[in-house]
A and B are shown apart, each in its own frame.
Chain A
């Protein structure tokens, strides 16, 4: 619980990334992603050989969708099927939050 290390913070005075620049997402998705508080989780089942492959595939999927900061939260493989949950952090704590700008505008 709360016992892990995160990547370094960006500089406080760093410009807030415009949504379209965020992790290379396409325009429409990037605008919606700006409202995400912290992370997006993707849960699914994969047909694959083993847990290692499940982890590799789900990360490949998330990164292919443009989410650079991705991790596997859980993965369990049984008899050719893997139940996986992966996470893409859009806003690690401490970064300039796009949703804050939206809230300010409102």
Chain B
């Protein structure tokens, strides 16, 4: 059926008014044509809608009298459709009405092949929106009127941080976060690491390619053996291969990607922007997935890199395909994928938990990323990077992010390892205070999840709403900053069942929309499936489900119970308590080793990658 809602720009006016006859060739159904008629009238066209259940003779008589330029036939009932429409076309011809009136057919019962076979001029099948019909009547390409009008520049990508001042509303927590940030920044400023030095060398190489030779040698000296060997022997690192020249041609700057046919999906007031993760390992497959999710309403995509890259010093070069999940961060891969994301999609490159954090932010900025991802606490816990190393690297990464104007989210995925929400928030807020002090624009990314904390504590025994809503409520009580639940929402609620997974994801996205947050990252329907690569269809499943959930709730609200308010207060108190103890310890790495932001009893241990690599900066 025709979608009952329209995204037609209300101020849209037709270039020239046309006479349009609308005919529900059906015993009962005419709602689709009524919706289309309303859009046509609003655009300035002249219309006449016949009642349902007219005979073919009555239709032809009405057309002879009205003399329409377009006759739109709607047909929902399937039986006898071909015969009926064929007879109508013949009768319109015999009455001399063709070709002055274009015969157009639409509705649940029709398909392109049938329309063409019967000699109709156009066909609008299931899923048609009024704007599609309107564009056809006006002789324009079927592009969304609510988004980019033909010939105009694409819309600017949304700044998720616009309008936020980063003032701490909770004074005590603000003071504590500033204290921790100040102490940690002073500590980090006097230190460096191979990751920081490689980023500086990479910047010098990019700034002055003519003098790159020596800097490249110095860069490789700071890399682990696999990256160094690959560069020297001009071979791809293990488990990767270079794309062939033929494959590269499909990612070239000359390659054009089709513009989205619909506006990106969102809840009320254009929020939240919906992000989808990609990272199949192959940039060609990624480009195809990005194009698919772009067409299905994603507003942003997140680059997912291989897990080994976080534990390897140095980044390779070239257009590389990876044998396992996660697409390798190289400048060439990133540039190709930026192009695939088109001018309209927000594009995030993660840099939050590895040995290449500063350089990843630098390359992301050079490649045209809109956002990155940095978090010292999460990045240092649960098989992450050694805390001192990540703190020093994060300092440099946040400095690059500020210099290049890249907002970065601060995610709290350590909750999945067993860290309670309030401790994860404390680490997040300390990192946020550091970022703001360095001139950056961080985004709070609370995890909407069924975490070990709530599994044991029973906070989600009744519903998934209250505890997740409490996180957003608590953060809003603490600071004026953008919120982007992730990543992805619904973690550990999804099963391998496609419908269950899609519904759970969509409801979490709807909760995010109802809470008025800026963005949300959703999973695919393959979230819980571990037997193979995530498919494009699985990504589209949850986008479709989220679109339906947004449509269902609209401007209405999901109402949390009183428990949410209580838990939010407890979280705020918990954050204050944790930051008080962190401030006493002094700097973040020491606090992490002391277990203040997650302890072995809670299931997390400080990371070890890059241990012993931090050194004092030479003056």
Assess whether A87 is in contact with B244, with CB atoms less than 8 Å apart: no
What are 24 residue pairs bridging A and B, where the CB atoms are less than 8 Å apart in the complex? A1-B527, A2-B325, A4-B324, A5-B324, A5-B325, A6-B325, A37-B292, A37-B535, A38-B533, A39-B533, A39-B537, A41-B498, A73-B498, A74-B495, A74-B496, A74-B497, A87-B535, A93-B321, A94-B281, A94-B321, A94-B322, A97-B285, A100-B284, A103-B250
Q: Given contacts A2-B326, A12-B244, A97-B285, are A71 and B321 in contact (CB under 8 A)?
A: no
A1-45 CB mask vs B (1 if < 8 Å, else 0) is 111111011011100000000000000000000000111010100
Main secondary structure of the interface of A (DSSP, over half): loop
B247 within 8 Å of A by Cβ? Answer: yes
Please indicate the chain A residues that have their CB under 8 angstroms from the CB of B495 in the complex: 74
Main secondary structure of the interface of B (DSSP, over half): loop
B240 to chain A, nearest CB (A): 9
- Enumerate chain B interface residues (CB-CB to A < 8 A): 241-244, 247, 249-250, 277, 279-282, 284-285, 288, 292, 304, 307, 321-326, 488, 495-498, 523, 526-527, 529-537
Assess whether A93 is in contact with B285, with CB atoms less than 8 Å apart: yes
- Enumerate chain A interface residues (CB-CB to B < 8 A): 1-6, 8-9, 11-13, 37-39, 41, 43, 71-74, 76, 83, 85, 87, 89, 91-94, 96-97, 99-100, 103-104
B496 (CB) vs chain A CBs: closest residue? A74
Q: Given contacts A1-B488, A73-B529, A89-B532, are A9 and B285 in contact (CB under 8 A)?
A: no
Q: From the candidates A4, A83, A92, name the one contacting B530 in the complex (CB within 8 A).
A: A4
Please indicate the chain A residues that have their CB under 8 angstroms from the CB of B279 in the complex: 2
Assess whether A94 is in contact with B285, with CB atoms less than 8 Å apart: yes
Inter-chain CA distance A103–B285, complex, in Å, is 13
Most buried by A among B243, B279, B288: B288
Inter-chain CA distance A71–B530, complex, in Å, is 10
Q: From the candidates B247, B281, B531, name the one contacting A73 in the complex (CB within 8 A).
A: B531
A37 (CB) vs chain B CBs: closest residue? B536
In the A-B complex, the 6 residue pairs with the smallest Cβ-Cβ separation, listed nearest first, are: A74-B496, A93-B280, A93-B282, A2-B325, A93-B285, A4-B530
A99 (CB) vs chain B CBs: closest residue? B288
Assess whether B322 is in contact with A37, with CB atoms less than 8 Å apart: no
Inter-chain CA distance A83–B533, complex, in Å, is 22
Inter-chain CA distance A11–B240, complex, in Å, is 10
